[in-house]
Amino acid sequence: MSEAEDTPGIGGAVRAAPGLARIAAAIGWRAAGDAAGAYVNGASRMVRAASRGESAAQIVEEGRDELRSYLRDWLGVGDGTTRQALPASVVGSRDGEDRDASVTALRRRGEELLRRSADIGEGAESHPAYMRILDSLAPDEARILRFLANTGPQPSVDIRAGVPFASQLVAQGLTMIAEEAGCRHRSRLRAYLDNLHRLGLVWFSREPLRDVRRYQVLEAQPEVTEALERVGRTGRTVRRSIVLTPFGEDFCAVCLLPV
């Protein structure tokens, strides 16, 4: 007979240990580490208690109580504690259902658009994005769009320093659009143009305008001359243009009446 069996009450505790291990394993893989630690600590306390002569029934009952308390803490039931997140395998099934539902709804929308495109009785409508675009525009941006719609493409220049094919960009997209369009916040022009480009309304073309006199006026502006002075003799201008896209032209014709 082993030493554990000779110790009063410890035999029952040892026989009960596999059952306690099964309870701990039922917690699941997500809490396996915590459960194993709780089981080992509980078993050690049971052995020490049994060596002091406590009854097996009392030891097992105390162990069960500790495991019940641990399970309640982990699951967040019965004692007002916060419930732990469900395993990903359970949540993932619901996410998959939502994804399938979203795909189904999108396909139905697509089929409806194709049906309407084939309907000869379908009346002409403005682009559905126009309303959202209007909500995304600042007042100064509306001024810029109407100015471009009324006057056409505008000159812009980049300032580069160094020899060709090895030059460095010093200033980009210098233009007189803010002044000529009457913007209230002229310092925000770069952000305005970036937003209009993001919305697909303007394009930063690498092609220059045919009328070189328009660049001569722009290159005489303080912003351009100061940039050229900073870089010295290697500085030069690269002529570009800012134009409305076809989408931007239609948007202006529908939403921003010319003056």
What are the residue boundaries of the structural domains of the chain, listed by start? 3-75, 89-117, 130-255
Residue 250 CA to residue 200 CA, distance in Å, equals: 11
Residue 234 CA to residue 153 CA, distance in Å, equals: 29
Residue pair 96/104 in contact (Cβ under 8 Å)? The answer is: no
Q: What is the pLDDT of residue 110?
A: 87
Q: What is the pLDDT of residue 32?
A: 47
Please give the CATH topology (third level) of the domain spanning 130-255: Translation Initiation Factor IF3 (3.30.110)
DSSP β-bridge partners for residue 205? 241
Residue 10 CA to residue 54 CA, distance in Å, equals: 9
Instruction: Write out the DSSP string of 26-45.
Output: TT-GGGHHHHHHHHHHHHHH
User: What's the pTM value of the predicted model, to 2 decimals?
Assistant: 0.56
| 98-122 exposure pattern, b = at least 16 Cβ within 10 A, e = fewer | eeeeeeeeeeeeeeeeeeeeeeeee
Q: Tell me phi and psi for residue 157, to 5 degrees.
A: -135, 150
Q: What is the pLDDT of residue 3?
A: 47
Query: Any idea what DSSP says for residue 78?
Result: S
Q: What is the pLDDT of residue 7?
A: 46
Residue with tokens 């937003």: 195
> What would the two tokens of residue 186 be?
């002229």
Residue pair 182/199 in contact (Cβ under 8 Å)? The answer is: no
pLDDT per residue, tens digit, the chain (259 aa), is: 544 444 444 454 445 555 555 544 554 544 445 544 555 455 555 555 555 565 555 655 666 666 666 556 655 555 444 444 445 544 455 666 666 778 888 888 888 878 877 776 665 678 889 999 999 999 999 999 999 999 999 999 999 998 877 889 999 999 999 999 999 999 999 999 999 999 999 999 999 999 999 999 999 999 999 999 998 888 999 999 999 999 999 999 999 977 6
